Amino acid sequence: MSQHRPAAEIAANRARYEEHQRKGLETAPRALPPPSPRPAPPLAGILRQETIPPGWYWATRLRKGEALRVAQTGAHAAVALVCWRADDPGERLNLPDTIKVQWTTVISKGRVLFSDAGRVLLSVIEDSCGAHDVLVGGSTAAGNAQGGHGRNTRDNLVLAAAKFGLSRRDIPMALTLFAPTSVAGDGSLGWQTGKLRGDDFVDLRAEMDVLVALSNCPHPLDPAETGGAAVEISCFAPPPAAPDDICRTATAEARRGFENNAKIHA
């Protein structure tokens, strides 16, 4: 028996997908905010700060309403991020759902990061570039051995997760900040050299208490031979979200995600 689906079934599935996409996009804004201006503006209400050297990792807990700034320090550095719901780490970042329900692989200002339970973990409240990877993930020991690099993202995240009592199996696919990947027409993945300036930054607001792990290692697709650069991390208290906050209103799916959040905070 053939393993291929009939053409009529493929066409019907495609039509259903396109109709669902059309309805989803009808509720989206005509345009999200433009990129945040560089360099990153000074922060008020700083709670704690850290510098992550190249090849190292860091872990922290953010309370609902707090925010995390990840900022480059003058040279390119890719930073992998994973996160969990603090009071129930079985709920964790889900990049496939984040992509699907927002109809885009571009994570930029106004977008949110979903958990695998349909709730919003983090909102992107500022972002200077929109060049973040949701498809490839971080580096591994095997890949680094081939490229002659040292520490790797996967092992770093295991060490970071252990600070929360979590293990390798608890680590979801990582979002890599400042990783300008691209997808060609044939599906191959590439790297958009020159899209980042070295002073890019992103601010992420916690929409529930979350555990966050970061790893500062070169991205697997980065053609540069350098070992990366340090990044500055700041936890701070941003202004409260307004009722018309773009992260909460950009899509029907985001609104439903925040409705799901409200149920656990009731």
For 44-84, what is each residue's pLDDT tens digit? 999 999 999 999 999 999 999 999 999 999 898 999 999 99
CB 184 within 8 A of CB 22: no
Could you tell me the two tokens for 30?
């005509």
CA distance 66 to 45: 10
For 80-129, what is each residue's pLDDT tens digit? 999 999 999 999 999 999 998 888 899 999 999 999 999 999 999 999 99
CB 199 within 8 A of CB 74: yes
Confidence of residue 2 (pLDDT cuts 50, 70, 90): very low
DSSP string, 190-203: EE-TTS--S--EEE
| H/E stretch holding 114 | strand 112-114
How many whole angstroms from its chain centre is CA 187?
A: 21
CA distance 140 to 133: 16
> Token match 């300008």: residue?
180
> Token match 């972002």: residue?
127
- The answer to which of 19-23, 172-176, 212-216 has the lowest mean pLDDT is 19-23
- pLDDT on residue 147: 46
Structure pTM?
0.87
DSSP string, 186-232: TS-EEE-TTS--S--EEEEEESS-EEEEEEE---TT----S----EE
Q: Which residues contact 152 (CB under 8 A, 6 or more apart)?
A: 138, 139, 140, 141, 143, 144, 217
Q: Which amino acid is at 149?
A: H
Number of H helices, E strands in the chain: 6, 12
SS3 for 55-96 is CCEEEEEECCCCEEEEEECCCCCCEEEEEEECCCCCCEECHH
- Max Cα distance, the chain (Å): 65
Question: In the chain, what are the domain boundaries?
Answer: 44-265
- pLDDT on residue 31: 66
Q: Which residues contact 48 (CB under 8 A, 6 or more apart)?
A: 60, 234, 235
